[in-house]
Structure 1
């Protein structure tokens, strides 16, 4: 940043996303919060607008909401929920515990980084498919396997299928939302990967759906930052209401120690 650029921003705050006039209006990406959004938008439409700058239709918002509902598993064994449960067992505050649980979803294997990489992969895959057809797509997927040994959005460590895809697909059909070009490319990739016993997972399916709605990878990443919230909250509450320290307690003998032998301190 040059000195002139720094000086222009000194002692002032500018915003393209919105603002508030004391005693007056509040706006979010060009929409009046009180006069427009409060009366015509759902919370999901407002959340998506906040994260992406785009005001989606009621049907699109309903599909996104359905995806959120099916993402938050309230199982304390899952990593995000486990973090919140440990915090609850230590009697941490709710806000801090929820934030810690959600922050732990910043993971490359199962969380938001995985989603972002899957969205980027599908974005590139469609560009290559449009230019070079199935042959080009096949070469692209082979290069992904050779270089990274993983294709984000495909494969699931525990199962041969993902139980969330069918109900989300049914929800889209019920809402009249057709399969788009990105989802078609995702299905082509799945066919290429079947010989490796890899199928599309929920993350890959969601990314294709959201790309077909016109979102870009970073927008999707930001929009999904709260996707695990409904799983984190009940796990925290249960652990908080139980006796302190009773969630996954660890005794000394539970730890495999391979360090130096016991010794006297000087």
Structure 2
């Protein structure tokens, strides 16, 4: 039955492109979710307002768009030691195109464990956690229940998306975004309040803290965004840092980023052998 329905839908879409977003009517206007892009958006709405409109079909307030812009700056570190930035640097170093370098950096950042992909797991956790909390569970019980579902071994570091970092303890970006949230006049919603309670409990019992993903997903859930919408908006979140590393390496001599000499490579293969001379 399902395959039959799918086939019928394919037949309806066969040979034509349909959209509920908008499009270009030549000689008239370029429409985007009911707005004329040239008349209503260009010079009147910010880039982040337009980005969120493109994802959600809803025009956000300028204040919320400013919050998003600040959150993207938190992820724009021009540090070529970061894995995604290294890809940008390497492509820049071999004089590849900016598009190739930035796209490679974005692609390498996509994972459920880190980067934009972790947004989904963070949002799913805090939403489930609030349901458990409303059923009467304490933050500690929520943590233990979540750890049990992830099969965390006793005595090992707790693994909850949105809480903990692989290198450092704590996250300076949470403090920075909390200042932005307050300065823009946002109230603390129920998901964010619970996120901070879980943060305090984790710090007390497991010496772990809320990270950037935990803060952002809790805040945006309170603002009505779904996990899918968050992931789509943040899909390119590392690009500015990759831009910086690509540009620096591309301006340097070709091959100047982490060059290797022959003696840097330890060869463990077959020993050199004599080849027969050509007669």
TM normalised by structure 1 equals 0.92
Instruction: Extract unaligned runs of 5+ from structure 2.
Output: none
Task: State the alpha-carbon separation in 2 of the partners of residues 85 and 142 from structure 1.
Answer: 37
Q: Aligned residue for 2:243?
A: 233
Distance 1:145 1:13, change over 3 A: closer
Task: State the alpha-carbon separation in 2 of the partners of residues 192 and 175 from structure 1.
Answer: 28
**When the two structures are aligned, how many residues end up with a matched partner?**
266
TM normalised by structure 2 equals 0.88
Instruction: Extract unaligned runs of 5+ from structure 1.
Output: none
Q: CA deviation at 1:143?
A: 1.9
Distance 1:41 1:262, change over 3 A: same
Quick check: 253-262 or 214-223, which moved more? 253-262
Quick check: 83-92 or 209-218, which moved more? 209-218
Q: Aligned residue for 2:14?
A: 10
Q: Does 1:192 align with 2:201?
A: yes
Q: Secondary structure at the match of 1:239?
A: helix
Structure with max Cα Rg: 2
Q: Aligned residue for 2:148?
A: 143
Query: Per-residue CA shift, 1:56-77, capped at 9, x if unaligned?
Result: 1111111111111121101111
Q: Aligned residue for 1:20?
A: 24
Query: Per-residue CA shift, 1:164-202, capped at 9, x if unaligned?
Result: 111211111111011111111211222332211110011
Q: Which has the higher helix share?
A: 1
Q: Secondary structure at the match of 2:23?
A: strand
Q: CA RMSD in A?
A: 2.1
Q: Does 1:247 align with 2:257?
A: yes
Q: Residue 17 of structure 1 contacts residue 29 of structure 1 at CA under 8 Å; is this kept in 2?
A: yes
Distance 1:91 1:121, change over 3 A: same
Q: Residue 116 of structure 2 contacts residue 236 of structure 2 at CA under 8 Å; is this kept in 1?
A: no
Q: Aligned residue for 1:122?
A: 126
Q: Does 1:152 align with 2:151?
A: no
Task: State the alpha-carbon separation in 2 of the partners of residues 138 and 74 from structure 1.
Answer: 34
Q: CA deviation at 1:256?
A: 3.7
Task: State the alpha-carbon separation in 2 of the partners of residues 258 and 143 from structure 1.
Answer: 43
Distance 1:122 1:238, change over 3 A: same
Query: Per-residue CA shift, 1:29-83, capped at 9, x if unaligned?
Result: 2322122222531111001111222321111111111111121101111111110
Distance 1:259 1:14, change over 3 A: same
Match among 64, 69, 72 for residue 76 of structure 2: 72
Task: State the alpha-carbon separation in 1 of the partners of residues 81 and 177 from structure 2.
Answer: 24
Q: Aligned residue for 2:86?
A: 82
Matches within 5 A, 1:92-111: 92-111=96-115
Q: Residue 170 of structure 2 contacts residue 208 of structure 2 at CA under 8 Å; is this kept in 1?
A: no
Match among 191, 202, 212 for residue 212 of structure 2: 202
Distance 1:142 1:104, change over 3 A: closer
